[in-house]
Structure 1
């Protein structure tokens, strides 16, 4: 078992391919550089989070049938989505952050509110929050959605891997049931491989037990390139 390895999410964040004029961030009111080539840089080799898309981006873009967002407004729409997700999940214990050098959104669902102990059934009290997330994903349809399951290091590797896969699949299935296109969604379990805190403390283990929803906006340029290369 791996008990205390920390996955450092800040390692070698990928650069965006191009940037253009400044826009106003709806979350802060500050001017910032807009993103125009979301996901254009490769990086799956850096791990499950940094630039990686489950199953590869090209086939999934084509299979999802999405139209993509105009390059100049990808960043603005992403900022709007983050703002709305934070408002919709306020007080729930969910954490919404930018990842992959600002090219994707990560929604962290903590174990304590999402599932009962050793269960893969979504807690009834959490369903209304997950419903709101589903509505948000339908409002912003031009993205790919990866659902990741993680555990702490308690128990066997085999058990943890299986539990993480089933929990990720449970959340993915729930999103689909709520009307999010299943062609946009993939799920994967990582067991105890990617802790975000030490497994030597109860608090750290609680943080490591989580399901993450990664939302990767797709630009029209990426859709066109995927269709040419498929």
Structure 2
């Protein structure tokens, strides 16, 4: 048996074991249904990818993994990596079906009334960009939001520019801009009451949706 095939079979075994994952917050092991059901198919795809060394073959194997192991398994891995790397940063990672939603509060992302990224937020976006660049079979929606203070026109422009700043930075981390839809929603999609300081602070945010490509 060739070295590549041996490597692939070893990878298959690891994929089967990966059906049991570790929760990055609790440290406890838990079963991933998507990984459990998809491990066998993903192992076959690993063999395909190992036999051929070209970039084309690797991409074909990745597509095979998505179709066989299921989109859920592909997103499981990204969710775990993002939660691990973003723990304690203030960025929320939420799972919505097969989609991931990252909520970046404005107070840690930008200075007041500015769309220039805070320099101390760069390492956080570096971590996000690393995962997004590695798992490229997703589309991204970057959306800026504001509170209701000030004029609608001002808030709309600010939300668009903030979303654009996040997208532009991710491009520097090897995330292809063509994967992104960048938009500003102004104050139109609050997640808290604009009648309080705490509520307005929650509404000032940038959200990044990570959506699996349809095959």
- How does the TM-score come out when normalised to structure 1? 0.68
The separation in 2 between residues aligned to 1:71 and 1:161, in whole angstroms, is 42
Q: Residues 33 and 204 of structure 1: is their aligned pair in 2 closer, same or farther, counting only changes over 3 Å?
A: same
Equivalent position of 1:97 in the other structure: 94
- 1:116-157 CA-to-partner distances (Å, cap 9, x unmatched) read 001111000000110110001011111001100000000011
1:139 paired with 2:131, answer no
Q: Which runs of 5+ in 1 are unaligned?
A: 1-22, 37-64, 224-230
- How does the TM-score come out when normalised to structure 2? 0.72
How big is the shift at 1:186? 1.5
What is the DSSP-based 3-state SS (H/G/I as helix, E as strand, rest coil) of the residue aligned with 2:70?
Answer: helix
Larger helix proportion of the pair: 2
Q: How many residues align?
A: 168
Equivalent position of 1:72 in the other structure: 69
Equivalent position of 1:13 in the other structure: none
Q: Which runs of 4+ in 1 moved over 6 A?
A: none
Equivalent position of 1:174 in the other structure: 169
Equivalent position of 2:111 in the other structure: 116
Equivalent position of 1:148 in the other structure: 143
The separation in 1 between residues aligned to 2:20 and 2:85, in whole angstroms, is 21
What is the DSSP-based 3-state SS (H/G/I as helix, E as strand, rest coil) of the residue aligned with 2:29?
Answer: coil
What is the DSSP-based 3-state SS (H/G/I as helix, E as strand, rest coil) of the residue aligned with 1:134?
Answer: helix
The separation in 1 between residues aligned to 2:177 and 2:152, in whole angstroms, is 29
RMSD: 2.1
The separation in 2 between residues aligned to 1:213 and 1:113, in whole angstroms, is 15
Please tell me whether Structure 1 or Structure 2 has the larger radius of gyration of its CA atoms: 2
Equivalent position of 1:201 in the other structure: 196
What is the DSSP-based 3-state SS (H/G/I as helix, E as strand, rest coil) of the residue aligned with 2:144?
Answer: strand
- 1:91-128 CA-to-partner distances (Å, cap 9, x unmatched) read 110000012xx120001111001000011110000001
How big is the shift at 1:74? 1.9
